[in-house]
Structure formats: structure tokens, C-alpha cells
């Protein structure tokens, strides 16, 4: 169940509440709608309440990243809010390839001599491809947005690497990793 985010009148986050409680506060006039998505109310006056620790969890993927807020209550852990963040990485890559093709054709149409310009480009330190940069920035921006709406205490990011050889042959170990399907064949590098 998605909880409703609650802010005090000075925009400090409180513990998210049940949607039924939010409806009652809105009907009584003790709260107003602050934002539609994620649905957030702002209290007109402070109503007492303790803050429990809330952990934000990310499950990154190439196309979609899962985001969940997990509250640590006396009765155990409970998911307060969850959502999927769809990335634009593939769209950005297609746009860049289209732009590159257009520029290349424009350069090739002009037949005058141009001195070669290809050794003057340096990438800054920490550079990421635009499709990956978009993914990182999206996740970071959502973390900042949610930290303004809920009292976050911890961040957890799930990073997983799959051992595909182990999935195909569970009993593989040691030197067998190095001797795959192409063991014994000579490979040559093409230039």
C-alpha cells in the first residue's frame, strides 16, 4: 500500500500516513494537497508524532530502476512507498546517433579541403556516456525528491553480478573458468 507523504507547515517531512488518515485530515481542513505525484499533503498546524527510521532502497537496472521506502517499525519492516523509474538511455543513444549521422552527411557534402581534427578531443575525468549519465542523474534526483518528502536515515543500493558460466554449469570451478567453449582453438586478432 502506498502511503501518503506528510509535511509540516515549514516543509519538514513527517512519517508518511495511511491514505484514510490523509483523507480525514483533508476533509477537516487540517491539511492541504501539496503535490499530486507523489501524493503529498502539508499540515496547517503541527500534529504530534514520532519519527521512525526510513530506508530508501534502489534496485538499478538498464531500462528500469526500482525504488522503495522501507520503514522500520516496532512490528518489523514495512514498505511505505514503491515505484519504478523508467530510463531514457536507449532514446538518448538513438538521438545521439541520429545527430552524428546528420552532421557527418553535412560535412561530406562540402567538398572543400578541411584539415583533420580528431586528436584535439579530451574527455573530462569521471566522464560517463550520456545514456548512463541520464540514468545516474535520474536516480539521484529521485533520491533528493524523496528525501524532502520523508525523513530518510539510510540508503541501500542493490548491486548484483551474474556468473553466467556458473548458471550454465553449476559444478564449474578452478581452471575450468579459463577453458571455455573455445579452449584449444587459435584465435587471431584482425586489424
pLDDT tens-digit series, residues 87-103 = 998 899 999 999 999 98
How big, in percent rounded to 5, are the helix, strand and coil portions of the chain?
A: 30, 25, 40
Let me know whether 28 and 91 are in one domain. Answer: no
Average confidence (pLDDT) over 152-181: 78
The answer as to whether 9 is a domain residue is yes
Distances (CA, A) of 85 to 57, 59, 80: 13, 10, 17
Residues 65, 85 contacting (CB under 8 angstroms) = yes
41 and 79 within one domain: no
Examine the domain organization and report whether 26 and 108 are in the same domain.
Answer: no
For residue 113, is pLDDT > 90? Answer: no
Same domain as 29, residue 98: no
Predicted pLDDT of residue 42: 93
Residue labelled with grid coordinates 581452471? 175
Helix (H) or strand (E) holding 31: strand 31-35
173 falls in which pLDDT band (50, 70, 90)? confident
Would you tell me how many other CB atoms lie within 10 Å of the CB of residue 5? 25
What is the spatial distance between Cα 123 and Cα 117, in angstroms, rounded to a whole number? 15
Q: Considering the domain boundaries, does residue 174 fall inside one?
A: no
- pLDDT (mean) for 103-119: 75
pLDDT bracket for residue 68 (50, 70, 90): very high
CA–CA separation, 44 and 41 (whole Å): 10
Same domain, 154 and 63: yes
User: pLDDT tens for residues 14-47?
Assistant: 889 999 999 999 999 999 999 998 899 999 887 6
What pLDDT is recorded for position 69?
A: 93
- Looking at residue 51, its pLDDT comes to 81
Into how many domains does the chain fold? Answer: 2
Is the same domain home to 135 and 79?
yes
Q: Is residue 69 part of a domain?
A: yes
Please give the pLDDT value at position 187: 60
45 in a structural domain: yes
Given a cut of 60, whether residue 117 has pLDDT beyond it is yes
Name the strand (E) or helix (H) holding 17: strand 13-17
Question: Is 182 within a domain?
Answer: no
Same domain, 12 and 33: yes
pLDDT number for residue 47:
65
Q: Do 74 and 137 share a domain, yes or no?
A: yes
- Report which secondary-structure segment, H or E, holds 22: helix 19-28
User: Residue 130 CB: number of other CB atoms within 10 A?
Assistant: 14
- Decide if 56 is inside a domain: yes
How far apart, in whole angstroms, are the C-alpha atoms of residue 62 and residue 86?
A: 9
pLDDT at 50 over 80: no
Quote the domain boundaries for residue 61.
52-113+130-159
The string of DSSP codes covering 53-103 is PEEEEEE--SSEEEEEEEEEETTEEEEEEEEEEE--HHHHHHHHHHHHHHH
Amino acid at each position: 500500500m502506498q502511503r501518503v507523504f506528510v509535511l509540516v507547515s515549514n516543509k519538514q517531512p513527517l512519517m508518511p500516513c495511511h491514505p484514510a488518515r490523509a483523507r480525514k485530515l483533508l476533509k477537516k481542513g487540517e491539511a492541504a494537497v501539496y503535490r499530486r505525484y507523489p501524493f503529498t499533503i502539508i499540515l496547517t498546524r503541527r500534529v504530534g508524532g514520532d519519527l521512525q527510521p526510513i530506508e530508501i532502497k534502489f534496485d538499478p537496472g538498464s531500462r528500469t530502476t526500482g525504488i522503495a521506502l522501507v520503514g522500520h517499525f516496532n512490528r518489523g519492516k514495512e514498505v511505505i512507498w514503491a515505484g519504478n523509474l523508467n530510463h531514457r538511455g536507449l532514446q538518448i543513444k538513438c538521438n545521439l546517433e541520429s545527430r552524428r549521422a546528420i552532421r557527418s552527411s553535412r560535412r561530406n557534402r562540402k567538398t572543400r579541403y578541411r584539415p583533420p581534427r580528431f586528436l584535439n578531443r579530451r574527455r573530462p575525468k569521471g566522464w560517463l556516456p550520456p545514456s548512463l549519465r541520464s540514468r545516474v542523474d535520474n536516480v539521484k534526483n529521485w533520491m533528493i525528491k524523496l528525501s524532502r518528502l520523508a525523513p530518510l536515515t539510510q540508503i541501500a543500493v542493490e548491486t548484483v553480478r551474474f556468473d553466467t558460466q556458473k548458471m550454465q554449469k553449476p559444478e564449474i570451478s578452478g581452471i575450468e573458468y579459463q577453458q571455455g567453449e573455445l579452449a584449444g582453438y587459435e584465435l587471431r586478432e584482425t586489424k
